[in-house]
A and B are shown apart, each in its own frame.
Chain A
């Protein structure tokens, strides 16, 4: 089993199975371009620095990739089926504990940076699920967003959107 070492921004090393890294477009491109998976060269031993991903976040990303090992890797934009995407139970449980905190958001940003499309999609879907069926004030309360509108502004926005309620 070929292992490739990822190095987080806080300089933690994570040896990861080569196969898992195919889920990340960013890392896969790097590996291919630099021949990092050629066991006959020194390059294979070269760690991959990820200066934009902290260790605790990278650990979660790897955990997610391990669970989704062997899943088909999403390529490009899927134009058809966003509406039908359902967050699987495992992923829901994975995301939920940190949903309203910075950890989930950091995971989402990492998914975007590492170009892990399936993780990004599910993560964004999970965030969007927190908005569904909620009013603006309810979303504000759940996410702890301060109300910056005056009552007059709030009423004006509400009126503008009245047709969709």
Chain B
């Protein structure tokens, strides 16, 4: 028996397997070997994409919410938003480019999240009425500090993308504090 045969499964089966994995596991799978990297890259690149756009400062930010409704993003409690960003001065090829959305822009950023979570349910709570402030307060409660969204940039093909991982947002979504806050 060749235990590595899962690498030779057909594309539709590999995609089916990937559909069950949250983003973090996909990224770990990507690190196994070049074939798994190809499998995951193909899977991610072929996800249906929801497209949203907003502005911060002078730059237009386009962000893409990866994933089908099946499980990738909200239900796996990890959001990856890819941003094609026209901020050339802020991009430094030699560093991971970790920066943050400052508080000034946080409200507008979080407000833009609302349409994304409009019909999402979590433990019986419908997120249709969530405001940016509620989101931030919840996050602050949990982390005892101001919310920050890390922006990490990397090259992908010819475009510059920025990946925003809403770790704080997602953590609290998975946290009882959220329901507790809503009932206060």
A residues near B (Cβ < 8 Å) are 77-85, 100-103, 105, 108-109, 112, 120-121, 124-125, 127-129, 131-137, 139-140, 143-149, 154, 157-165
Contacts and interface: CB of A to CB of B under 8 A. Distances in A.
A161 B75 contact: no
Given A128-B20, A132-B21, A140-B32, A163 B152 contact: yes
A80 B150 CA distance: 29
Contacts of B69: 79-80
Contacts of A112: 10, 12-13
Nearest to A135: B28
Interface stretch (B1-9, B83-91, B131-139, B176-184): B1-9
Interface of B: 1-7, 9-10, 12-13, 16-25, 27-34, 36-37, 68-71, 75-76, 78, 80, 96, 150, 152, 154, 163, 165
Contacts of A159: 96
Contacts of A124: 13, 16-17, 19-20
Given A101-B1, A120-B16, A157 B37 contact: yes
A99 B30 CA distance: 20
A121 B70 CA distance: 13
A143 B3 contact: yes
A40 to B, nearest CB: 38
A82 B70 contact: yes
A160 B36 CA distance: 15
Contacts of B75: 82-84
A85 B20 contact: yes
B16 A143 contact: no
Contacts of B21: 128, 131-132
Nearest to A144: B3
B150 A163 contact: yes
Contact of A109 (B10, B27, B33, B68): B10
Nearest to B16: A124
Nearest to B71: A83
A136 B17 contact: no
Given A83-B76, A149-B33, 19 more contacts: A84-B75, A112-B10, A112-B13, A120-B16, A128-B17, A134-B25, A137-B31, A139-B28, A140-B33, A143-B6, A144-B4, A145-B33, A145-B36, A147-B33, A148-B33, A148-B34, A161-B27, A161-B31, A164-B78
